[in-house]
Amino acid sequence: MDNLTLLQRKDCMTSIKSRNTKPELILKDKLKGFIFQPLGLMGKPDFINWKTKTILFVDGCFWHKCPKHYKEPKSNRSYWLPKLERNEVRAGEVNLAYKYAGWKVIRIWEHELKF
């Protein structure tokens, strides 16, 4: 059972960002030649370098089930477990699509970035 009210849970979930996250912003200043959060591309990559045909994703430990830090949700499992599984499957499909198109795909776990 959730220990938050519906309004508190809504506020909490609304505050979770999918763009301009702390790990992404750390890399933004360090990656030269990469475009930050290009629009309209499959899989919504965090960075792209058109010259080197390199796509970079920064994966959150919870959202992408990091083998080092992922903890299974204790509440609302019927919602979260299929959602997180779909995230994993989709990431694999995106990787394959870019690789078949001749792109180098890099995925970095959020815990690999110091912040």
CATH at residue 104: 3.40.960.10
- Tell me what the mean pLDDT of segment 7-23 comes to: 67
Q: What is the pLDDT of residue 104?
A: 98
Q: Is 2 part of any domain?
A: no
**Domains: count for the chain:** 1
Q: Write down the H helix ranges in 1-115.
A: 6-14, 22-28, 77-100
- Tell me what the mean pLDDT of segment 53-69 comes to: 93
Dihedral over Cα of 20, 22, 27, 28: its sign: positive
* Residue 98 in this model has a pLDDT that exceeds 80: yes
- Tell me what the mean pLDDT of segment 83-101 comes to: 97
Model's pTM, two decimal places? 0.79
- Tell me what the mean pLDDT of segment 46-51 comes to: 96
Q: Which domain covers residue 64, as residue numbers?
A: 17-112
**Beta-bridge partner residues of 55:** 48, 105
Rounded Cα–Cα distance for residues 111 and 99 (Å): 25
